[in-house]
Amino acid sequence: MQRPTVIEDYPHRMGGHCGSGAMRDLLHWHGLGWDGPPDEGLVFALGGALGLSYLRSDDLVPPLYLVGRGADFEIDLPRRLGAKVQMLTTDDPEEGWSWIRDEIDTGRPSLIWGDIAELPYLRVQLQMSRHDIVIIGYDEARGIAYVVDNDRAEVQQVPLEALARARSSTSFPQPTRHCTYRITWSDELPDLAQVAAEAFSQSAASMRHPSQPGIVDLTATAEGAEGLAAAAQLAADIPIWTDLPVDQLEILLFSLSAFIEKAGTGGGLFRRLLADGCADIARLTGDPATADLAIAADRCAQAWTNTARAGVQRDVDAHARAESVAIAAGRMPELELHLVESLESASSSLRATER
């Protein structure tokens, strides 16, 4: 009987965000870091993936979508760190499975997308196709794959049929198409200050001048906005929610809170991960502007968290909660602008140390 093929001793810890949690583990497994294995916040910060997308549409369930990261973290981070990356997609399930099997057979973990609704261990009904998981083994005789997910502490055994469904999903925000990232890592990492300067600059530019759609393409809807404009749009929309019937209002308030705190954001709409990462970079480089950036990111994260909590306070009338959310969200445009300015300042400061 064919024995299962499993990568032993794969390092895994639970994480706040599927992408940065997976990349943290992959870097650790490859023995890469600047002061030991990197923490998740550092990985997120170096991805340059900070962003903001806001969408409200009756065609969505729930009718609200908010995300605080950009679309290309899984490509930008490894390339910034000197790796070679291929993003493979196909509509042929056999071809898609062959990519995973080939990676495992050569002793490399495989980073892929899977729809959360089709992954049985998550036990959710909400469909979301762009969820990063890592495959570290398979047993075709038993029909299972061994899956590492930031949301679970233990390795999960997933039926190959369920994995195939998760990898062929056509759900929001885009079809998974058996997406597989084939990454060839370098033997060592580039200078941390240089990498961080590039990442901060990219995040600031994505917020100030979004040049391409984020995870959600908002070009076809008048209800959506990207970057700093998204913070302003959300702050302008929430006061209008108070005119809605209670049942609709409850859905919006709960959804807003979930997207800020619970939807794989690490809390505070990814800003808390950024704050943690910037604190690590400031410690490792001694850069004072990056230390200031960590404070700005932490303040922004806390303000987003306060906005989320205001919407789900117990024993408070829905319309009263909506008014509190409107006040809290009204502070976000200014805080987000200050965050962007801090990113730009830290990037300039780190570049100056290279001269």
Tell me the pLDDT tens digit for each residue of 244-287: 999 999 999 999 999 999 888 999 999 999 999 999 999 999 99
Residue 244: how many CB atoms within 10 A of its CB?
15
**pLDDT score of 223 more than 80:** no
pLDDT confidence of residue 217: 54
Q: Which of 57, 163, 67 lies closest to 113 in space, CA to CA? A: 163
How far from chain centre, in Å, is Cα 198?
Answer: 19
| CA-wise closest residue to 130 among 184, 156, 169, 91 | 169
> What pLDDT, on a 0 to 100 scale, did the predictor assign at position 222?
47
Residue 220 has pLDDT above 70, yes or no: no
Q: What is the pLDDT of residue 43?
A: 98
Residue with more model confidence, 59 or 8: 8
Instruction: Place 124 in a pLDDT band, splitting at 50, 70 and 90.
Output: confident
